[in-house]
Amino acid sequence: MLTLSLKETTEALASKGQLVSRIYDEAGPELDFAKVKSLDGDTAAKVEKLQNLDKEVTDLVAHRKSLIELEGNRKRAQELNAEYNKPAAGFKHPGAGDAQAEQKSLGELFVESKAYTQRESGASAMVDVNVKTTMSRGTGWDPAVADIARVEEYPLRKISVMDLYPQYTTNQDTVSYMKETTHTNNAAEVAEASANSDSALALTRTTDEVEKVSVWLPVTDEQLEDVAGISQFINNRLTYMLKNRIDSQLLEGNGTTPNIWGAAQLASIQTQAKGTDPTPDAIFKAMTKVRGTTAGTGFAEPSAICLHPNDWEPIRLLRTADGIYIFGNPTEKGPDTLWGVPALVTSAKTENTGLVGDFRGYAGLFIKRGVTFKVTDSHASNFIYGIQNIRADIRLAAVYFRDSAFSTITGI
């Protein structure tokens, strides 16, 4: 049974919290207790001592909570005592010779008023009555309100870019594959007894690093304990944050660790300038480059066109000279397509620059580990203040097997 005061309990918690935090820091992420210097004995003895420390800390937390509740009760009792046992100041009982104040009811005042005595002539009058402030919802007890079963989330863009990529799994920290970098085709017809022409092939190993995308959020113990469904809400929002970042990186990431490769930043990507062409024409020319006309470039089939909403708007609103909408009547919903290829309209794409590519055939998202959540209160003084750190992360690599299967459209 703990008999410490609130001050003593808080100081003990701070001391033991620092010790526990130091022990975990010494043990490291692998929890190797052989590295722990703050505890004596072998590994088993250190683990047992740490467990005892954890129990002491748990008991101290419970004891401190009960002391805080008692302190709150004590203050409320003092306030109630002061409010209801305060003597009335200046009260004097009337004596035999004191004049008695005449008291009249509201009804008597009204009957004696001009409004009543001269009612037949239509007269009106004010009745001086001392009325207290009306108790309303604004100044009184506002009724309790129960939230409806909906949380309106912050307006954010839809996750869509990841859907363009075929997804695979990997157990390596690097995605490695062979790429044919030389293809010399000297196949030709030869006459009888003539020499055959020789060709050449060369393969090069290509690698892409698996990167980690991470996010964390501090949450109090009370928030996690008292709000139904808060854990699921936090998990969903942290997962969205990760996917939102991945969506942006898949289009514009520069590939320098820890960044993921973005399709628009590939080293050997093709490019088509809009120039004086209408935007649909420039996009079609980029599609032609992706389809390829020269050995070593393209020879792929575009599976998607990526455009910023501000770049797609003037395309969708294009009209003929007599006002006919080229891409369909406004009453027609229809899919967003251009030259028969789906158009992905997203603010994840940089404005004024479009992207065409064969994502389906020559790109891949290799996931080493899906979204993982970890919770701890060992960071800084979070243990003492009852704050949990929730971390979510994912490890993956974006791989592009053929840079020339993609083309940007500049100057939109």
Structural domain contains residue 96? no
CB atoms inside a 10 Å sphere around CB 289: 24
43/173 same-domain check = no
Dump pLDDT digits (tens) for 286-302.
999 999 988 888 999 99
Buried b (16+ CB within 10 A) or exposed e, 146-161: eeeeeeeeeeeeebeb
Q: For residue 220, what pLDDT is reported?
A: 94
Dump pLDDT digits (tens) for 40-99.
888 888 888 888 888 888 888 887 888 888 887 777 777 766 666 665 555 455 565 666
166/39 same-domain check = no
User: How is the chain split among helix, strand and coil, in percent rounded to 5?
Assistant: 35, 20, 40
Structural domain contains residue 283? yes
Q: For residue 101, what pLDDT is reported?
A: 58
Q: For residue 161, what pLDDT is reported?
A: 97
pLDDT < 50 stretches in the chain: 91
Tell which of 42, 65, 88 closes a domain.
65
258/376 same-domain check = yes
Structural domain contains residue 126? no
Q: H or E element: which one contains 155?
A: none
205/327 same-domain check = yes
Structural domain contains residue 109? no
Structural domain contains residue 139? no
Q: For residue 107, what pLDDT is reported?
A: 62
Instruction: Please report, for the domain that includes residue 333, its CATH number.
Output: 3.30.2400.10
Q: For residue 83, what pLDDT is reported?
A: 65
**Domain tally, the chain:** 2
365/221 same-domain check = yes
250/386 same-domain check = yes
Helix (H, G, I), strand (E, B) or coil at 272: strand
Whether the CA torsion 334, 337, 338, 340 is positive or negative: it is: negative
Q: For residue 309, what pLDDT is reported?
A: 97
Structural domain contains residue 344? yes
Q: For residue 28, what pLDDT is reported?
A: 81
317/170 same-domain check = yes
Q: Which residues pair with 182 in a beta bridge?
A: 202
277/401 same-domain check = yes
Token pair 């722990």 in the structure block, residue: 36
Structural domain contains residue 11? yes
Closest to 377 in 3D by CA, of 250, 247, 216, 263? 216
Ramachandran category for residue 141: left, alpha or beta (phi over 0 → left; psi -120 to 50 → alpha): beta
Closest to 113 in 3D by CA, of 128, 103, 98, 94? 128
Residue-number span of the structural domain to which 59 is assigned: 6-65
Instruction: Answer whether 411's CB lies under 8 Å from 229's CB.
Output: no
Q: For residue 102, what pLDDT is reported?
A: 64
Q: Is the pTM of this model over 0.85?
A: no
Structural domain contains residue 50? yes
Whether the CA torsion 338, 341, 345, 346 is positive or negative: it is: negative
Tell which of 65, 89, 111 closes a domain.
65
Angle at 121 between CA 115 and CA 123, to 5 degrees: 30
Q: For residue 25, what pLDDT is reported?
A: 83
245/371 same-domain check = yes
